Amino acid sequence: MDKINAAITGVNGWVPEYKLTNDELATMVDTSDEWIMQRIGIKERRILKGKERGSSYMGAKAVEGLLKKTGTSPEEVDLIIATGVTPDMLFPANANIIADLVGIKNAWGYDINAACSGFIFTLQTAVQYVESGKYKKVIVVGMDKMSSITDYTDRTTCPLFGDGAAAVLLEPTSEDVGIIDHIFGVDGSGRHYLHQKAGGSAKPASHKTIDAREHFIYQEGQAVFKFAVTKMADVSVEMMKKHNLTSDELDWLVPHQANMRIIEATARRMGLQREKVMINIEKYGNTTTATIPLCLWEWEDQLKKGDKLILAAFGGGFTWGSMYLKWAYDGAGRK
C-alpha cells in the first residue's frame, strides 16, 4: 500500500477591519512610527471590536470561508484542532465553539496551546491523524485576539501584537506532496520571560492581580529576542541540511511574524533572498498562532504544486520548530 501523506489542500484567513496604526498607538503611549518600524517592522495591526466577541469569532470566520472555498460540507469534517493563547474561555475549547458556529457535527476536536509555535505544533498533530489512514478531512485553525491581553499602557509590548485567524484543511494523498518532516523543541525554563502571570490555576483572578495588571502579556523582550533569533534559524538550517536542500532549491520560508529583524536574520542564516520569504508583519503584527497560516493564505495564489516550503516559529514557553513540506496544489483554485 502506498504511504499516506498529509497535505494542506486549502487555506483561508480572516482579519478584523479595524486598523490600529503606529500613529494611533503614539497617542496612547510614548512611542513613534519611526521607532516601531525600525525595531519591529510593524506599521499597523488589526483589532477585533464588538462586545463579548472572542477569538472563536475570527476562527469561525476563517473555517467557514475554508469550507466554502474547498467545497467541503461541515458534516464531512472528521476532526478540528484549534490553537491559540486567547481562547474565548479557559474551557470549553475553542474547537468546540467553532464546530458549533459553523455546523461541524460529525467531528471531535480540542485545543492545543504552544504559544506562537501553536500553528506548527497543531499542524503536526493533525498530520498524525491523517497519516494513520483513519482521518480524511482535518481542520487546523490558529486564532488569537491578542488585543484582549495586551496592555495598551506598556510601550514595550503594545506595538507588537494584533488580532487574526487562519485555518487549513488537511487531507490524505498518495502523491509526493504534503508535510514531510518537523523538528520541534520546548524549554520550559523560558517561561519566565514571556507569559501571562494571572488568570490560571497558579494565580486565579483577584482584585490584586487586576490592580497589578497581571492579566496582560509580560515579556522581557531582549531575552526572548536572543533566543528566538537563534532557535528559529537553527532549526530551519538543520532542516535544510537534513534534506540536502540548498537555498536555491527551497521555494519559500514561512516564518512566524514577531519581529522583522528576527525574520531577516533567519532568512540570512538560510541563505535566502527576500523574495522567497513571506512577510506580512507590517500589516498585521504578531497574531501569535495565526501568523503562519495568514501568510500561506496571502501567498496562496503564488504557490505551485511541488513548491518546497519551510515553516518556522518561535514562541513563549519557550517553544520553537520548523516544518518542511511540499505544497499540494496550484494557485488559489486548490486541487
Residue type for position 159: P
How many residues in the shown chain lie near ligand UT7 by CB under 6 A?
A: 21
Work out how close the CB of 213 gets to ligand UT7 at its nearest, in angstroms, rounded to a whole number: 16
Q: Which is nearer to ligand UT7, 284 or 327 (CB)?
A: 284
List 18, 35, 110, 184, residue binding ligand UT7 (CB under 6 A): 35
Candidates 48-56, 134-142, 152-160, 164-172: pick the segment binding ligand UT7 (CB under 6 A). Answer: 152-160
Which residues within the stretch 157-176 sit at the binding site for ligand UT7 (CB under 6 A)?
159
- If you search the block for the grid coordinates 525595531, which residue do you land on? 39
**181 phi and psi, to 5 degrees?**
-155, 160
Q: Is 217 in the site for ligand UT7 (CB under 6 A)?
A: no
Contact 239, 324 (CB under 8 A): yes
Q: Pick the catalytic residue from 182, 256, 259, 280.
A: 256
Is 256 among the residues known to form the active site?
yes
Angle at 124 between CA 120 and CA 129, to 5 degrees: 145
- Has 207 been annotated as catalytic? no
Nearer to ligand UT7 (CB atom), residue 261 or residue 308? 261
- Cα separation, 49 vs 265, in Å, equals 34
Q: Does 199 bind ligand UT7 (CB under 6 A)?
A: no
293 Cβ contact list (under 8 Å, min separation 6): 11, 13, 119, 140, 142, 166, 167, 168
Q: Pull the grid cell for residue 109.
A: 476536536
- Shortest Å, Cβ 11 to ligand UT7: 21
Give the count of alpha carbons within 13 A of 112, CB side only. 21
Which of 81, 116, 138, 233 lies at the binding interface for ligand UT7 (CB under 6 A)?
116
Quote the least distance from Cβ 35 to ligand UT7, whole Å: 4
286 noted as active-site residue: yes
Whole-angstrom Cα distance, residue 106 to residue 142?
21
Q: Determine the residue with CB nearest ligand UT7.
A: 221
Nearest residue (CB) to ligand UT7, 10 versus 159: 159
Cell numbers placing 295:
501568510
Which CB sits closer to ligand UT7, 10 or 316? Answer: 316
SS (H, E, C) 252-298: EEEECCCCHHHHHHHHHHHCCCHHHECCCHHHHCECHHHHHHHHHHH
273-332: contacts with ligand UT7 (CB under 6 A): 286, 314-316
In the complex, what is the shortest distance from the CB of residue 162 to ligand UT7, in angstroms, rounded to a whole number?
A: 12
Listed ranges 32-40, 117-125, 141-149, 270-278: which one lies at the site for ligand UT7 (CB under 6 A): 32-40
- Binding status of residue 259 toward ligand UT7 by CB under 6 A: yes
Exposure string over 107-121, b if 16+ CB within 10 A, otherwise e: bebbbbbbbbbbbbb
Q: Smallest distance, Å, CB 263 to ligand UT7?
A: 10
Ramachandran region, residue 225 (left: φ > 0; alpha: ψ -120 to 50; beta: rest): alpha
| Type of residue numbered 144 | D
The residues of the shown chain that bind ligand UT7, judged by CB under 6 A, are 31, 35-36, 39-40, 116, 155-156, 159, 221-222, 224-225, 228, 258-259, 262, 286, 314-316
Active-site residue list: 116, 256, 286
